[in-house]
Amino acid sequence: MRFDTIAFDADDTLWHSESVYAAAQEEYRRLLAPYAEVETVNRVLHQTEMRNLPSYGYGIKGFALSMIEAALELSERRIRGDELQRVLDLAKQMLNTEVELLEGVAEVIAQLATTYPLLLITKGDLIHQENKIEQSGLKPYFRSIEIVADKTPQSYAALLARHHIEPARFLMIGNSLRSDILPVLAIGGEAVHVPYAITWVHEHAVVPPEQQGRYHELEHLGQLPALLEGIQKRS
């Protein structure tokens, strides 16, 4: 067997997530329209998020704090209390959105779990991510679930060492080149990119030519079993 372990990202790989953020940001732009143009709202919110990542990390709660901070800046502190309440309501709606699996995910995960040990590796707010994993119905298929602060070569290397997994026999599947693909390639693993329709600009990246041999790209997760079969035959 080419791979000892296969790991999956969660958000926008197994279930929808970025579309929830996109809908909230559209409402946020409407709310801030009296104070700033759309392009300015987008720019200030993104800058605020990036500035706050070291303090807040990833996830909806940190995003909500950044939305409030950006709203105060964009409105020059003129935003009303009821408008700030609407920002908080948006965050609560995001937190309470039901998990919706991507097409074919349940079938593929169930199939692969019969052959491979599966890991789920995701980042974000611990409580919210745990709730989504429970709601998804996929938890029983995973040998281990890892919720990390960020996905870097160092965090992947530490995780694999803890599970006694050789990087060369590890395959990661995810939608983010920056978080799911490049760090795994950097430590000698193999990775499959399954792009999502919407990708946060922070997650954009390019795979270096020298890494292409251990990099694969699929249109959707339903193609993964055939890819794995092909890799096995070439091994």
Residue 14 CA to residue 101 CA, distance in Å, equals 6
Residue 34 CA to residue 179 CA, distance in Å, equals 36
- Do you know the residue count of the chain? 235
User: What is the residue extent of each domain of the chain?
Assistant: 5-15+100-234, 18-96
Residue 212, pLDDT score: 64
Q: What is the pTM of this model?
A: 0.87
Q: What is the mean pLDDT of residues 93-97?
A: 93
Residue 230 CA to residue 104 CA, distance in Å, equals 20
Per-residue pLDDT tens for 40-51? 999 999 999 999
18-96 placed in CATH 1.10.150.240: yes
Residue 62 CA to residue 34 CA, distance in Å, equals 24
Residue type for position 70 = A
Residue 27, pLDDT score: 96
* DSSP state for residue 219 in the 8-state scheme: S
Per-residue pLDDT tens for 150-188? 899 999 999 999 999 999 999 999 999 999 999 999 999
CATH homologous superfamily of 5-15+100-234 equals: HAD superfamily/HAD-like (3.40.50.1000)
